[in-house]
Amino acid sequence: MKYTRRVQLTGGSTFTVSLPSKWVQRAGLVKGSEVDISESGITLVLDPRSGEGTQKAKTLTITKEVDDVLLERMLTSIYISYFDILTIKTVKLMDQKVREAVKRFARRVMGVEIFEESSNSIMLQNVLNSDNFTIWNALRRMSLNVETMISDTLESVKLRDSKMMLNVIERDDEVDRYQWYIFRETKASISTSGNSVYALILSRILERTADHTVNICKILGKIDRQSSAVLEHLSGFLEFSLGMYRESMEAFYSKNVDRMNDLVEKKHEVYDIKDKILSDPKLKDLSTATAASEEILRIALYSTDTAELGMDYLLSDMQDFTLK
C-alpha cells in the first residue's frame, strides 16, 4: 500500500513526516516507541521491529479442542502478564465457540480491542494508555464501585428488593476488570514504581470485599421470605461495616494515621456485633443470619486491613517519624 505525506518543518531546522496510522497499528507502535531508519540510496526504510521501544507481542496457538472457560482463564492470565498485541490462532478454521470466547474476554477486560480477524486468527490490541489512566486512578474508581455495591446491598435489604440484589451481583464483573488492570499495570511498572505494590494489595482487598457483598445478596436470595428480625439485624450490621469501609478509604487516601489506627482497634467491636446478633433468642432463621453476618463481618475486617495497609504505605518512604 502506498501513502503520501507532506514534509513539515519544525523548529526551523527539523523536517518531519507523519506515519500512517494503519501502518503504526500493524507495526505495534505507540507513543515513545523507537523505529530504526536505514538509507538505501535516496530511499529511507523504517524498521519498527528492532527498536527497543517496540510493543510486546504474544501469540497463543490452539492445536486442539479447548474448553471456553479454560481459554478465557488463560487469556486473563496472559492479559495480567502484559501484552500490547496478542494473536490467538488455530491450526485450522477457528471454531465459532473459540471466537466467541475470545470476544467475551475482550469485553470483560479493560483497554483491549479486537484489531484484526481472519479465518483462523484474532488479533487483540491494548489501546489504553496507562499514562492517562494510572493504577491509582483505576484504584479510586474501583473503590467507588465497591462502595456503591455495599450501599446498594444495604438499600436492597431495607427495601426488600431482590432485583437490586441481582444488579449488585452483576456489577462484580466491573470490579474484576479493575483488579486485572491494576495487576497487569503493577507487573509492568514494578521496577520503576515501588509504591505500585500497595495499589495491587489494596485492589485485592477491594476485590474480596466485592465478593463478600455478592455473597450477601446470594445468601439472602428471595429477600421477601426472610424474617423481619433477621433483616433488621443484618441491615444494622451492614450499615456499620459500610461506615468502616468508607472510613478506611478516606483514611488511606488522606494518609491519616490516627484514623487508620482507630479503625484497626475496631476489630473486637466487629466481632461483638456479630455475636450479639447470633445470640438473639428472637432469631428463627439462625443459619441465614450466621452465613450473612459472616460475610458482613469480612467486609468490616477487610476495612481494618485497608487501614493497616495505609499505614504501611504512608511509612514506607519516610526516613524520620514523629508521633504527636
pLDDT tens-digit profile of 116-155?
A: 999 999 999 988 877 788 899 999 999 999 999 999 999 9
Whether 187 and 235 share a structural domain: yes
CATH number for the domain including 139? 1.20.58.220
Q: Give the separation between CA 56 and CA 83, rounded to whole angstroms.
A: 5
Would you give the distance in Å from CA 317 to the centre of its chain?
25
> 225: which 3 cell numbers?
421470605
Share of the chain above pLDDT 90, in %: 57
3-state secondary structure at position 323 = coil
Contact 181, 109 (CB under 8 A): yes
Domain boundary among the residues 91, 126, 161 is at 126
Whether 161 and 107 share a structural domain: no
Whether 217 and 169 share a structural domain: yes
Average pLDDT, rounded, for the chain: 87
| DSSP β-ladder status, 57-62 and 85-90 | parallel
Domain range enclosing 24: 8-47
Whether 122 and 214 share a structural domain: no
pLDDT at 47 over 80: no
pLDDT at 79 over 80: yes
Q: Is residue 1 part of a domain?
A: no
Domain count along the chain: 3
Whether 143 and 257 share a structural domain: yes
Q: Please report the DSSP string for 210-240 in residue order.
A: HHHHHHHHHHH-SGGGS-HHHHHHHHHHHHH
The pLDDT of residue 193: 60
pTM over 0.85: no
Whether 139 and 287 share a structural domain: yes
Residue 52's pLDDT band (boundaries 50, 70, 90)? Answer: very low
Whether 194 and 256 share a structural domain: yes
Q: Is residue 322 part of a domain?
A: no
Q: Give the separation between CA 75 and CA 94, rounded to whole angstroms.
A: 16
Q: Is residue 52 part of a domain?
A: no
Query: What tens digit of pLDDT does each residue of 8-38 get?
Result: 776 666 778 888 876 776 666 766 677 778 7
Between residues 290 and 23, the one the model is more confident about: 290
Whether 256 and 290 share a structural domain: yes
CATH number for the domain including 87? 3.30.110.20
Which residue, 215, 244, 230, 243, is CA-closest to 158?
230
